[in-house]
């Protein structure tokens, strides 16, 4: 880490098929004030329209956001959308797929939601996000000691849920309880289904630890990972772009090189 992006560009340009997996927040776009803020970005929409229009590129968004929000952010025909880390998928043909059983997942989550609401009701700066398939607490705006106390108590409550069904995800002043299948690595496995053909190239752009799970799986399948983060951020990715703006600029280059390549 990190190799020259020119190496990756050459592999993309020579591939028969390119599977392009993209996170959204922190990768294509800067983070919104809250996960419930939806600000469609015309530049990103046009970029994904351009990528989708290239027959040999198969772009997909794999995000922690819930699917209805992705649909509003990215109304791009033919674009695969995977919400809540891939639990809910809109295929390129518009079909909706769920990779977990709502009858098993949602009742325990709703019970936990009530307990978390009571826990945070007297605390400022903590935001409870209900994704339907998961629950998340965002505490970046809370006082540090209070955030740590609340998140520890919330995690203790979440640990009482069936670990065969649920996993706990962490982060900086962040806690989420989600189905075990809410894993971007599992989602990559499901979408690719088998090892890449030698004529294919698969690339994943992401910025956080949930994307690192996808990096590991994709690299095992012969693909390439691009970390979107400042220099010196630890990662297993082979390549790096410093910011969402840099990621968008690089993807514009991919559009140009793949539009002009002859086969």
pLDDT above 80 for 52: yes
**66: which 2 tokens?**
């819930």
* Residue closest to 87 by CA, chosen among 62, 109, 112: 62
Stretch among 30-44, 61-75, 84-98 having the lowest mean pLDDT: 30-44
Report how far residue 185's alpha carbon sits from residue 171's, in angstroms, rounded to the nearest whole number. 17
State mean pLDDT over 210-227: 95
**What domains lie within the chain, and their CATH numbers?**
5-99+182-260 (3.40.50.1000), 102-179 (3.30.70.1020)
pLDDT of residue 195: 61
Axis crossing angle, helix 102-120 with helix 144-158, rounded to the nearest 10: 150
pLDDT of amino acid 76: 97
Where residue 169 falls among pLDDT bands split at 50, 70, 90? very high
Instruction: Write out pLDDT tens, residues 20-31.
Output: 999 999 999 999
Give the tokens for residue 243. 């910011």
- pLDDT digits 0-9 by tens, 72-121: 999 999 999 999 999 999 999 999 999 999 999 999 999 999 999 999 99
User: By the 8 A CB rule, do 169 and 178 touch?
Assistant: yes
Predicted local distance difference test score (pLDDT) of residue 197: 78
Cα angle: 127, vertex 132, 135; to 5 degrees: 40
Whole-model pTM over 0.95? no
Name the band, by pLDDT with cuts 50, 70 and 90, for residue 237.
very high
- Give the per-residue pLDDT at 263: 45
Segment 176-195 mean pLDDT? 91
Q: In what order do the strands lie in the sheet with 200-206?
A: 96-98, 88-90, 80-83, 57-62, 17-22, 200-206, 224-228, 239-241
Least confidently predicted of 80-94, 112-126, 136-150, 191-205: 191-205
User: Which tokens belong to 260?
Assistant: 């002009």
Reported confidence tier of residue 71, pLDDT bands at 50, 70, 90: very high
Question: Which pLDDT does position 138 carry in this prediction?
Answer: 95
Does the pLDDT value for residue 70 go beyond 90? yes
**Residue 3's pLDDT is what?**
65
Q: What's the average model confidence in pLDDT over 142-146?
A: 94
């Amino acid at each position: 880490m990190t190799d020259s992006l020119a190496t990756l560009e050459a592999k993309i340009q020579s591939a028969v098929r390119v599977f392009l997996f993209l996170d959204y927040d922190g990768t294509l776009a800067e983070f919104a004030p809250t996960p419930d803020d939806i600000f469609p970005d015309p530049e990103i929409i046009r970029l994904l329209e351009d990528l989708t229009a290239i027959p040999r590129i198969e772009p997909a968004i794999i995000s922690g956001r819930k699917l209805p929000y992705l649909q509003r952010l990215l109304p791009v025909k033919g674009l695969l959308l995977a919400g809540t880390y891939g639990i809910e998928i809109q295929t390129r043909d518009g079909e909706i797929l769920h990779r977990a059983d709502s009858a098993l997942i949602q009742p325990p989550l709703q019970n936990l939601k009530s307990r978390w609401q009571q826990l945070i009701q007297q605390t400022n700066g903590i935001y409870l996000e209900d994704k339907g398939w998961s629950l998340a607490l965002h505490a970046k705006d809370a006082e540090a000691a209070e955030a740590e106390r609340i998140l520890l108590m919330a995690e203790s409550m979440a640990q009482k849920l069936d670990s065969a069904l649920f996993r706990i995800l962490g982060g900086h002043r962040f806690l989420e309880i989600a189905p075990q299948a809410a894993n971007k690595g599992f989602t990559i496995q499901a979408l690719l289904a088998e090892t890449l053909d030698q004529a294919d190239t698969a690339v994943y752009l992401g910025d956080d630890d949930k994307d690192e799970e996808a990096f590991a799986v994709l690299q095992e399948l012969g693909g390439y990972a691009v970390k979107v983060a400042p220099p010196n951020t630890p990662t297993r990715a082979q390549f790096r772009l410093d910011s969402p703006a840099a990621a968008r600029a690089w993807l514009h280059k991919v559009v140009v090189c793949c539009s002009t390549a002859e086969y």
